[in-house]
Structure 1
Amino acid sequence: MTGTDPAQQEQAHAELSGDYDIDVAHSRFGFMARHAMVTRVHGTFNDVDGVLHLDAGDLGRSTARVTLVADSIDTGVEQRDQHLRSNDFFDMPTYPEITFVSTAINGSAPSFEVTGDLTVKGITKPVTVDVEFTGAAVDPSGNHRVGFEVSGTLNRRDWGVNWNAAMEAGGMLVGDKVTLEIDISAIRRQE
């Protein structure tokens, strides 16, 4: 999304613009939350589907739609994952998907903000995340790829993910703040 003269910029914009599918094998939809007030627990959602529409000439006209299969949550500890899948946290049998649909993009590449509607447990609320465009390339298979790093913080209680337990020494077992740690590689659809 860079270039020195207008003709180069226009060509670069045309080469980057289009519809992209998220390449799940080369992306990571991660998160982090505090546990026992002393450590961080990291996790990912492994089953993800997403489509990006990139308008490199007018980033504000770009869009993103992402669906996470809630049951694919993975923190590396099966007992914890089962608890997260239960009604105490995500109630995944009732709410099998978590979705994000962009509503606005502000700023310009390489760093910009994306605002959208995040739906968790049937509750939809707006969130804004920071996005860093990390580059574009043609891979050995001839696929046109783009990359993004996404970060942000949200309060899980805003979406009804309220379970917690008091600790003997004071404080709560699970922090309310959830930090998003997302790396996206997306492949442009063939015309």
Structure 2
Amino acid sequence: MTTFSDLTPGTWDVDASHSELGFVARHLMVTKVRGQFKDFRATVTVGEQLEDSSVEATVQLASVETGSPDRDGHLRSADFFDTDNNPEMTFRSTKVTPDTLEGDLTIKGVTQHVVFDLSFNGVAKDPWGGTRAGFEASAEINRKDFGLTWNAAIEGGGVLVSDKVKINLDIQLVAAQVPATV
């Protein structure tokens, strides 16, 4: 079994074609709606010690997809992400441990500290001589903390969209720049 110590220090990029940045919110308080962002990039800098590592990510909010073009358009509107004025969501880590990824998440100009539960899935060589690594991470945020306050009351109580949103990351990294060994 591989561990974080098997990661070669250096710069790693997210392979977006083999990664997913998804989210889940409750709809009408009885079902879950899942979505994802298709356009994102991130760089992971692996330090000699895990605590010296960092993550920087940028997500294009207009790339949101939930399987419903009408809902996707509403999410892009001023009611939610307001992508015309706030095209990106960003994340900058502040702490990395074997079990958590902590950092500052910014949506619509509002920055909140978020703690992701982190799982390392291992390192593998690809058939082309490259090195890949896999991670999963999840966190729950309150969308209202980021100014995403639109909602509608439903008959009998409750609201159309939950305040709590779960963020799920399934990430494959590819070694971009690995320092030469001395």
- Which of residues 93, 112, 116 is equivalent to 1:129? 116
CA–CA distance in 2 between the matches of 1:190 and 1:162? Answer: 41
1:70-94 Cα offsets, whole Å, 9 max, x none, are: 0000001000000000010111100
1:31 corresponds in structure 2 to 23
CA–CA distance in 2 between the matches of 1:32 and 1:58? Answer: 33
| TM-score between both structures, scaled by the size of structure 2 | 0.93
RMSD value, Cα: 1.6
Verify: 1:47 aligned to 2:34, yes or no: no
Identical residues among aligned pairs (%) = 45
CA–CA distance in 2 between the matches of 1:143 and 1:84? Answer: 37
Shift of 1:16: 2.3
- Structure 2 counterpart of 1:163, one-letter code: W
CA–CA distance in 2 between the matches of 1:59 and 1:169? Answer: 50
Higher RCO (C-alpha under 8 Å, 6+ residues apart)? 2
Shift of 1:190: 4.2
Shift of 1:51: 0.2
CA–CA distance in 2 between the matches of 1:33 and 1:160? Answer: 16
Shift of 1:174: 0.2
- Which of residues 8, 15, 23 is equivalent to 1:16? 8
| TM-score between both structures, scaled by the size of structure 1 | 0.89
Verify: 1:83 aligned to 2:74, yes or no: yes
Structure 1: runs of 5 or more not aligned: 4-8
Aligned residues: 178
1:95 corresponds in structure 2 to 86
CA–CA distance in 2 between the matches of 1:146 and 1:71? Answer: 28
1:89-138 Cα offsets, whole Å, 9 max, x none, are: 111100000000001123x3xxx111101000011111111110001001
2:153 corresponds in structure 1 to 166
Q: Which runs of 4+ in 1 moved over 6 A?
A: none
